A and B are shown apart, each in its own frame.
Chain A
Amino acid sequence: MTAGFAELAAATHFSFLRGASSPADMVQAAMALGHAGIGIADRNTVAGVVRAHVALREAVEAAAADGLALPVFKLIVGARLVFADGTPDIIAYPANRRGWGHLCRLLTLGNRRATKGDCILAFGDLVEFSDDLLLIMLPSDDGAPPLAELANAAPGRVWLGAAMPRAGPDKRRLHGLAGLADAAGVPLVAINAPLYATPEQRRLHDILTCIAEKTTLEAAGKRLQANAERHLKTPDEMARLFQGHPGAIAETGRILRCIGFSLDQLRYEYPNEPIPAGHSPQGWLETLTLQKARERWPDGIPPRIMALLTDEFRIIAKAGYAPYFLTVHDIVAFAQGRGILCQGRGSAANSAVCFVLGITAVDPGKHNLLFSRFISEERKEPPDIDVDFEHERREEVMQYVYERYGRDRAAIVATVIHYRPRSAVREVGKVLGLSEDVTARLTGTVWGSFAGHMEKKRFAESGFDPDAPEIARLGDLVGQILRFPRHLSQHVGGFVLTRDRLDETVPIHNAAMVDRTFIEWDKDDIDALGLMKVDVLALGMLSCIRKAFVMLETHLGRQLTLDNVPDQDGDVYDMLCRGDSIGVFQIESRAQMNMLPRLRPREFYDLVIQVAIVRPGPIQGDMVHPYLRRRQGRETVEFPSPAPPHDPDELRGVLGKTLGVPLFQEQAMKLAITAANFTPSEANQLRRAMATFRNVGTMQDFEAKMVEGMVARGYERDFAERCFRQIQGFGSYGFPESHAIAFARLVWVSSWLKHHYPAVFAAALLNSQPMGFYAPAQIVRDAREHGVEIRAIDINDSFWDNHIERNGTAMAALRLGFRQITGFREVWADRIVAARPYDSLESLARRAGLPPRALRLLADADACGSLGLDRRSAAWEALRTPDAELPLFAASGAAELGAEPDADLPLLTPGEQVAADYQTIRLSLKHHPMALIRPAFAAEKVLTCAEFAAARNGRRVKVAGVVLVRQRPGNGNAIFLTLEDESGVANVVIWARLFEIYRRPIMAARLMLVEGEVQRSPEGVVHLMASRVHDRSLALDLLSATHESRPPLARADEFIHPDQPSAHHVRRGGHPRDVRLLPAREKRILPPSRDFH
């Protein structure tokens, strides 16, 4: 008696904090229950429909692959319209493509009215856009719905939805609704409005409700659903519930039949702005490219390039991608016209076309990159070019895109913000009534924010029994809520551009940033539907390089661009081989610096490998050491080969350039295809599954397929498993060769600048902060070690930016700029520069019109040296200098401040000077803090970092220093620390089990003493293998009674700051020695500071 029921009011977890199942789960569950179809309708959004669409498509494909016939199942997509004017909710389904356009415009209208994340709709809006929409009105508790009104607006396309929620008077209500429907001449349709797929998910739904209501389960009361009935029900049960009204069940089938729209009908069309009238896209691309090529090679295009271009034109023409290349070129040309540095990367960016068009600076003629490999002809996906722009000027480019294509045709792609382990534990814990204390302990053990999932052992690590009921419940629910979307946000820079109105394809939202709009779908949704995306990304290094180029041009008259920096220079490679790479793009991290002396790069492609090798993929696949051994000639290069009858050399083509070891993402994918018989589309699915964690369940299938596939062809199991782990390691940080090549170019340019113009490079780096790995202190220190004279900030010499000053010798000096002063403003700096020079603090205040705060910052930063004022007297003087902006003062002209008796302030000690420097400009040119504390450590036989670096292998030593960076890479077996003292840095390795013992000092110390054993590698890389760790931060505070000294951590420090006050910050801001915690009879906690200077 199955009546052919389809649930037409299903909500998913894109009805944020209301739905508790993913769109895919809903579709799969409805198919399993034997529904004739399903309608997905989330609250004022269509954000989840593509996922439902893909889930259905994949189910059909999977069934087809297995040779199974699926029962007919139809997905219809729409939205549940929730009104701001008191109208009851109405579910809208487009009947055709035009209806979809209407729905999208309706939602866009509501979204654009709201400031953030809201959608404000009124009944009248729906009436305006109701053509080609099927509407199901959902009755509300208060008052009769405006059913007749709606039926008039959309004749024949209105239904009244009736549910049987098992609330008690269901039958009476149903009867009443039937009467209402009859009176309005509208059919009744049966729904259950499920919020989750199966009854078991009620618990999760309760949790979500509590999160939304900001309450706990205990206190939520009737805000929770009374029962677990809001799940997908079987057609039989629905028929039973609607026994007296079989017509309502039958109507679901009728609605399904009325709908002729599917997301497959969204056809993508490229915008035609960049193509002049009278040209075809392909014709114009070829004309433009050849014209540029002739400009570049006036003596004739090299035949090799010409051959590449011809081949690429053929492929582009076949796929019809010419408009895409032209669009990217259009954006890049705009940026170049404005002098904004940019560079493309991504699968299609390494083409000769992109090189000639100036989208990349990597000459494909030199690097033997086959373009056809990167535009997959099999997968019908659009090519992928990401363009990086200077981070400080990207906004100009984005606004250009909006302007050129119009806001109704250009918008940024969405990013779905998911629950992270940290936020999930905190929020679920709160709902379960666990105290903040408990959840803080649980989340406190999650190192870094990118832990993909909350492992059981994390719970155990924090001292909780993972099997205790509350903790087990928390673990279970957190596991379910992870990967739930929290809200939509804008993608960093992915633009979708269309020829026609974008808001008829997908609803558009206002972004949190002014002047930004974004669509509801993320990049995977866009991919799945075949829409085009251009990534406009921001890269700090490009800002830095441009600033360096500008300085070189103004000071030295040397004109440089990304592609005319000389590309062979042995001295630069020598520098890199020493691991001397602070500030250099991509290869400045600890791990990269340790790799450099091992890899010993000598040519450009070595840099490509250097960039790619220190990544989770190769590391987890255990590919790094085999590669290094082969490169150093300690292992013969051989290619893993299958058993006969397969071609034993089948991997030679895949792994040839990397000595038989897979390092790049393309190689891993190609490996799956060649060695494990994946189809290209399967390999692509695998990559995507890894990147998005979307189909976690199918992962084991892929693993079995790949590993067994390779083993079956005669590969060693160990190699096969490593290859799979490598693909897993790529995860969302997949690193293809094409990206590595683009990055390697910037590595080269920045290395070259660092080697040849260290002062310029350091100034440019400082002027582009925040970026990169290191804090200004480390950048300045590095420049000094390279012989750059660093001059202090001074009101008579500095500008806002750091700049270059001539000094006697050829080497330029770096004058620190006002931007280094924490809290200083650019406008103040400009006023100071405009009214120079000054002979007193008073004249500075008056002529530059500085507010008292600016004066104090300058004085505290010791920037008044040219006035003959030291920091303390300048600060004392600044305190009484009145506000220059007071009208009274301005009117009276030169109101001289009266003379005062000598304040007789105590002189600053060196420790105080250093501490004050760190506090105001986060670096000190005067001393390293360790130099001042050294006597105390010397007595303990602590080595300096320089002494440590020279110590023999295996020696047991003590080293102390300021903590620069803490990192726990990859699998987390070891923690890497970098300590710094006056002589250099020392790299410390701490094994995980030791970390458990010394967790506190490692997490808390700013100044650390480590005991351990010297380990020296054959390449001369020295590590300290820690055996004991001590927190000696107190010594730093003793430097100065008057300033807190906090040497800054490098920006790359992964440790999530507990912002730890040491044991003595008892009352606000009090210095340790000001505060007495114990009765006077107890001994003093701290010795007096004069012991140290």
Chain B
Amino acid sequence: MHLPLLPSERLRRGNFAPPDGPLALVEKQRGRMVLVAVDALALADGVAPGLTLADARARLPDLAVMPHDPAADAQLLEWLAEGCDRYTPMVMAVPPAGLVLDITGCSHIYRGEAGLADDLHRRLVRLGLTAQLALADTPDAALALAVHDMAEVGDLPVTALAVDESVHLALRRAGLLTIARLSRQHRPALAARFGEALVMLLARLTGEIDVHIVPRRPPAAIEAERRFATPLAQSEAALAVIEALAVRAGLDMAALDLGGRRFDVALFRSDGHVARLSVETAAPVRDPKLLIRLLRERIGALADPLDPGFGYDLIRLSVPVTAPMLAQQLQLSGGSLADSEIGALVDRLGARLGRGRVRRLVAADSHIPEQAAFDLPVADAAGIAWPAVQPGEPPLRPIKLFDPPQPIQVIAEVPDGPPRRFRWRRRLHEVRAHEGPERIAAEWWRRADGAGLTRDYYRVEDGEGRRFWLFRHGLYGSEKLQPGWYLHGLFA
């Protein structure tokens, strides 16, 4: 099956694109914006992939434009492939927009191959996808026919063969435009000119040799599964099975000096539904106890608890992501394990509360003090370091800032002298020492007027040794007649 409009339909499905009007997805190629995909509306108006954006705009001024996102397309294709598990386990995704299903012996439920194709087509239409389906004896032929939306292999253009552009060109120049025409050529003559690969591809397309597809879900490095003649109807029983599987997987990993970074559990229900659970860890793990605890927490945090329904007939534990892990020994001091203990805590909190809810503060690249830090999920924050403080320098910024800064009354010299005394919360402070100003201008590009007030920050100390961080808001005279003053933070 081939999905010619996959990218635009993906956007429409997700409501990422304007609902009506033509749509195109663009990408920068050799310095120009080029259309890589369009929707049916644009196509109907003669705007097709390959045009430059400028050109397309000239034809269709109201063309909506979104960036091309091959990763998202691939994701959608994968998702569709997953769904096709219902027809056959032999599913192969052929990016950017193709799926090949080996339905040998799978079509009886659908009253034959055509019935299966119909069912698939109906489901795709329901998903808002335009699909071209074709049935053929070999995967190559089926995909080529779907892409070109044809019924006979002989009618296919030679471009259906996955060979170099130069070969296509040579074939076209020889006047061999279709597969039928090409097949009539003397095969050794073809091989002498274009190599065995072409002859092989041709044979695969015409069904002279058969090949099998490579199913898309590659076997994981470590896998353990158990099938049940009588489906398991209880979650606890299923958990016990998973624990047993975890022990088995742990032994396998230990033998290889590996630990798992990700664990997938697939619970196949007898009615065809597949429940999948997965757990990720910050450090490689193979301890079954730890694993089962994480899984239990994961299950406990599920929005919709596991429902065994009529019971599971197959449970599979796979470890798709592994990392080297040597046998570990506790150190006497325990110090070097501190990190891993924090890691374990973060794993547990993350498993229970959700990965996005355990966060860490990181520095942001901005002159504006209140924008100079923000928080990120711990996993994403790794590797972002705070800038080092120069030795001997006092802290230039307080640890906590008032939000919003607190207005104060200040006596200071004009135009840009330091504060002499100030009143905060009805209390007067005499400034005994100061440093500054640290002048920070506004981010003009964020403002409609392109200006904004400059701040003059001072670190000051009052008669009692308390230290404050305050600023004048606006340059005297040039920006503001009477600049206001604010207290932005206290130094410890």
Contacts and interface: CB of A to CB of B under 8 A. Distances in A.
B403 interface: no
Interface in A678-698: none
Given A1076-B149, A1078-B43, A1069 B169 contact: yes
Interface string B131-151: 010000000000000001110
A1058 B57 CA distance: 12
A571 interface: no
B50 A437 contact: no
Given A999-B58, A1063-B47, A1080-B149, A166 B437 contact: yes
A168 B437 contact: yes
Given A169-B435, A440-B54, A1065-B48, A1070 B174 contact: no
B175 A168 contact: no
A900 B181 CA distance: 17
A1059 B47 contact: no
Interface residues of B toward A: which range? 35 or more
B131 to A, nearest CB: 9
B1 to A, nearest CB: 12
A609 to B, nearest CB: 40
A304 interface: no
Given A168-B396, A469-B448, A999-B58, A227 B439 contact: yes
Contacts of A223: 365
B445 interface: yes
A566 interface: no
Interface string A429-443: 000100011001100
Contacts of A327: none
B172 A1071 contact: yes
A206 B443 CA distance: 10
B48 A905 contact: no
Given A221-B364, A916-B173, A1063-B46, A168 B441 contact: no
Contacts of A473: 445, 450
B351 interface: no
A869 interface: no
B53 interface: yes
A1064 B157 CA distance: 15
Interface string B181-199: 1001110110011100000
Contacts of A1041: 172, 177
Given A903-B185, A1074-B157, 6 more contacts: A879-B193, A905-B174, A905-B176, A1003-B58, A1004-B58, A1077-B48
Nearest to A877: B193
B194 A168 contact: no
Contacts of B366: 221-222
B177 A1042 contact: yes
B61 to A, nearest CB: 7
Contacts of B185: 903
A903 B194 CA distance: 15
Nearest to A169: B435
Given A441-B57, A875-B173, A228 B454 contact: yes
A168 B450 CA distance: 25
B224 interface: no
A1074 B28 CA distance: 26
Contact of B439 (A226, A1066, A1078): A226
A436 B50 contact: no
A320 interface: no
B contact face: mostly helix, strand, loop, or mixed: mixed
B49 interface: yes
B438 A1060 contact: no
B55 A217 contact: no
23 contacts: A167-B438, A168-B437, A202-B444, A221-B365, A222-B365, A222-B367, A225-B441, A441-B54, A879-B170, A1004-B58, A1042-B177, A1059-B32, A1064-B48, A1069-B169, A1071-B172, A1074-B148, A1074-B157, A1074-B177, A1075-B159, A1076-B150, A1077-B4, A1077-B43, A1080-B150
Which 10 pairs of residues, A with B, have the shortest CB-CB distance? A221-B365, A168-B438, A1074-B157, A879-B193, A166-B439, A906-B175, A1000-B58, A227-B439, A444-B54, A227-B441
Interface in A1035-1085: 1041-1043, 1058-1061, 1063-1071, 1073-1080
B51 interface: yes
Contacts of B157: 1070-1071, 1073-1074
A857 to B, nearest CB: 12
A1078 B52 CA distance: 21
A1087 interface: no
Nearest to B456: A166
B159 A1060 contact: no
B54 A1058 contact: yes
Contacts of A999: 58
B130 interface: yes
Contact of B59 (A219, A221, A441, A1000): A1000
B136 to A, nearest CB: 15
A1076 B148 contact: yes
A993 interface: no
B26 interface: yes
A872 interface: yes
A999 B57 CA distance: 11
Contacts of A432: 445
Contact of B440 (A227, A900, A905): A227
Nearest to B66: A437
A999 B58 CA distance: 7
